Chains A and B, each alone.
Chain A
Amino acid sequence: DIVLTQSPATLSLSPGERATLSCRASQSIISYLAWYQQKPGQAPRLLIYEASNRAAGIAARFSGSGSGTDFTLTISSLEPEDFAVYYCQQRSNWPLTFGGGTKVEIK
């Protein structure tokens, strides 16, 4: 199985700051990676697919980059509603797998 390692586990930032989240794959997954946001008590929401494409309705402050084994989700300027847990997910190989998550918390 492809293992996705997310770092850091927790990111403590203030509103308005830039957030940079990392997802590293155990083998190349080309650009077959998505990012999801999950708030407490809610289902995850798709943010980014194929590494860099924003899903419908997702704000432009969210951007994704990377290929091969190293990927980044960037939130250019944190809004209060962005404090949540973020997961990456690969579709390169079965089974589909997720990273362990990065919690973005208010500093």
Chain B
Amino acid sequence: EVQLVESGGGLIQPGGSLRLSCAASGFAVSSNYMSWVRQAPGKGLEWVSVIYSGGTTYYTDSVKGRFTISRDNSKNTLYLQMDSLRAEDTAVYYCTMRKRPENYFDYWGQGTLVTVSS
């Protein structure tokens, strides 16, 4: 059974850094297309970043140069390093996995809340 469990969220001051983790089970993170999707409080969904099985990464424009997606194959865990955080980064961050060939989000974790505030 596929499971995704995020952790690492919390309250952080503007300009600070935070690293989110997503522990995966039931499949290999290294062999799959993994993304982070976020949702600001009371708002819609926004794709943030993706890492392909081959290691290629992409980011939405608003986080380029500030966020870094990575994975640890030995721990079967996905990460999102978030630097230079801004108030507008406040959101629930979901870890997702694509099962089919198309770029949709088949599996989701429960999410972790990041609040950027002084």
Query: A and B from one assembly?
Result: yes
Question: Contact residues of A with B, CB < 8 Å?
Answer: 32, 34, 36, 42-46, 49-50, 55, 87, 89, 91, 94-101
Residue of A nearest to B47 (CB): A96
The number of inter-chain residue pairs (CB within 8 angstroms) is 48
* Residues in chain B within 8 A of chain A (CB atoms): 44-47, 58, 60-61, 94, 100, 102-106, 108-111
Q: Are B103 and A99 neighbours in the complex by a CB distance under 8 Å?
A: no
What 11 additional pairs, Cβ within 8 angstroms, besides A32-B102, A95-B58, A95-B61?
Answer: A42-B110, A43-B94, A44-B108, A46-B104, A50-B102, A87-B44, A89-B105, A91-B104, A98-B46, A99-B44, A101-B44
B102 lies within 8 A of A49 (CB): yes
Q: Which residues of A contact B105 (CB under 8 A)?
A: 34, 36, 44, 46, 89
B104 near A100 with CB under 8 A, answer no
CB distance B106 to A55 under 8 Å?
Answer: yes
Cβ B110 vs Cβ A89 within 8 A: no
How long is the Cα–Cα vector from A36 to B47 in the complex, in angstroms? 14
Are A43 and B111 closer than 8 Å at their CB atoms?
yes
Bound complex: CA A91 to CA B44 (Å): 17
Bound complex: CA A100 to CA B111 (Å): 19
Contact call B58/A94, Cβ cutoff below 8 A? yes
Which residues of the other chain, B, contact A99 by a CB distance below 8 angstroms? 44
Please indicate the chain A residues that have their CB under 8 angstroms from the CB of B110 in the complex: 42-43
Rounded to whole Å, the gap between the CB of A46 and the closest CB of chain B is: 6
Cβ–Cβ contact A89 & B45, under 8 A: yes
- List of A residues within 8 angstroms of B60 by Cβ: 95
Complex alpha-carbon distance, A45 and B21, angstroms: 21
Expressed in whole angstroms, the Cα–Cα distance for A32 and B100 within the complex equals: 13
Separation of A96 and B46 alpha carbons in the complex (Å): 8
